[in-house]
Amino acid sequence: MLAERASYSGEPRRSLLSVVLSLVAVSFEVQDPGPVAAFWAGLLGRDVVMEEASALVPGNDTQVGLRFVAAEVDESNLSNRVHLHLTSTDLDDQHRTVTKAMELGGRIVQEYPEEGHVVMSDPGRNEFCVIEPDNGYLAGTGYLGEVTCEGPPESGRFWQEALGWPLVWDRGVQTAIQSPDGGTKISWDVRPGPPDYGSRRQWLDLTASDLDSELDRLAGLGAEELGETNGVVRLADPGGNEFTLGPG
């Protein structure tokens, strides 16, 4: 997906919507949350906040947070529905990221010399790409440049309205949104073939100051409510991507 957009350098436009949703983190189910969170904290230069059955690597206004949740079933051998893109300032910087990721317990999955990026996986077998420098599409996004998800254009447009983030890419089956403040982009693409994702292994975690009204609004945008546990509601967007919404 990213290779097709490498020359794009459009700037996000500020949304006029009043939205009370907050994106807290992208969540990944893993067998052992602690070591995977420590890997990402070390790679991104962040802290780890241990939770009851998960570990959070907090983000900020422009960089998305990451949460690693203890999985009930080991599905680490299945395809990833979500993966991350890390940016590079130059070739030496890209090499440093790859080297540091390996020192922290990651591994190289595949290298693409012609395109310039390197596909890696963390200790929980979550794949991510270390992107080549001078990639116009990810210019100015910061180190964690993109969260890219499986999903049709309807997913991207749903999240544009849900979060109030401008749509910064909308071509064919590919869409992407970005906070009005810039930073990490979130994108959706329809990948060829029928990959086996298993159950929900990756999803978005959100909070809302007015949970009931936001649930009504999201339903009006096309979200489907799937269930509730301890006050946190599980939903799916129009493309079938699951997400959670809790009080905040």
Q: Quote the number of domains for the chain.
A: 1
What's the whole-model pTM score?
0.89
CATH number at residue 46: 3.10.180.10
- Determine the distance from the C-alpha atom of residue 87 to the mean position of all C-alpha atoms in its chain, rounded to a whole number: 14
pLDDT in tens, the chain (248 residues): 554 454 444 444 434 345 679 999 999 999 999 999 999 999 999 999 999 999 999 999 999 999 999 987 776 666 778 999 999 999 999 999 999 999 999 999 999 988 899 999 999 999 999 999 999 999 999 999 999 998 999 999 999 999 999 999 999 999 999 999 999 999 999 876 555 555 557 899 999 999 999 999 999 999 999 999 999 999 999 998 999 999 98
Question: Burial of 103 by CB count in 10 Å (0-12 exposed, 13-18 middle, 19+ buried)?
Answer: exposed
pLDDT for the residue 224: 96
Helices 211-221, 153-163: inter-axial angle, 10-degree rounding: 150
Measured from the Cβ of residue 233, the count of other Cβ atoms closer than 10 Å reads 21
**Helix, strand or coil, per DSSP, at residue 44:** helix
Q: Quote the domain boundaries for residue 130.
A: 2-11+19-247
CB-count burial class (<10 Å; 0-12, 13-18, 19+) for 215: middle
pLDDT at 9: 43
